[in-house]
Structure 1
Amino acid sequence: MGEKMKLLLAAVMVFAASVHGGSELMADETAAVNPRGQILAFSCASCHGTDGKSVSIIPSFYGKSPEYLEMALKDFKSGKRYSTVMMRHAKGYTDEEIRLIAEYYGTVWQNNN
């Protein structure tokens, strides 16, 4: 992982911890989730919110299943689903990383359909 990506992830983690009320609370909420998925998902928080509920025109994905989220990200990655920003983001992740992100948002926040 490049130095820029490491710095970005660190900055997003600090932001998410401050928004979410501290690292102790986050650790309790994510005990059953792969920590790598949590770290990867932090990059989504600045646009989509820490719980998948965005406050702007950016789509929210709260309430979507892990399977739906994984499929959507893979569709952005392949170009099957169009979005200038999301296509670029999704292309930067492996299929395993996409699965971890989807699992994190779909299970930690109880986002079942």
Structure 2
Amino acid sequence: MTLVCLWALAPAAHAGNALDAGRLLAATCANCHGTDGRSVGGTESLAGMPGDTLLRKLAAFTSGEKPATIMHQIAKGYTPDQLALIAAYFAAQRPDAGVAR
């Protein structure tokens, strides 16, 4: 019985590890895009952005299709798998978390 319960939890544990990995990779993004992707102005907020949208934007920076001052260099520093982890992390964030109303 215990083995079956542990096996059932494996996907959730793996998903948690992926989000943790994405959070660690995305830490650099906070310099410009705010904590957990919630910008306080000047740059685009990433929190809550659909993962596929963010991946398209990152691909445009990487390819040079979208001009940038620094993002094209930053995006090129990650593997496609790492960019996918970062995109998934930001997609999982609530855009309004921690905002006083």
TM-score, reference length from structure 2: 0.70
* Structure 2 unmatched ranges of 5 or more: 1-14, 96-101
Q: Secondary structure at the match of 1:32?
A: helix
Deviations 1:36-86 (CA, angstroms, capped at 9, x unpaired): 211101110121012322113112223310111111111101111111211
Deviations 1:13-34 (CA, angstroms, capped at 9, x unpaired): xxxxxxxxxxxxxxxxxx7351
Residue correspondence of structure 1 range 1-113 to structure 2 within 5 A: 32-34=16-18, 35-107=20-92, 109-110=93-94
Letter in 2 for 1:32: G
CA contact (8 A) 1:74 1:98 kept: no
TM-score, reference length from structure 1: 0.63
How many residues were matched structurally? 80
RMSD over aligned CA atoms reads 1.7
CA contact (8 A) 1:74 1:95 kept: no
**Moved >3 Å (runs of 4+):** none
| Percent identity between the two aligned chains | 40
Higher relative contact order (CA 8 A, sep 6+): 2
Letter in 1 for 2:78: Y
Return the index of the structure with the highest Cα Rg: 2
Distance 1:110 1:37 in 2: 15
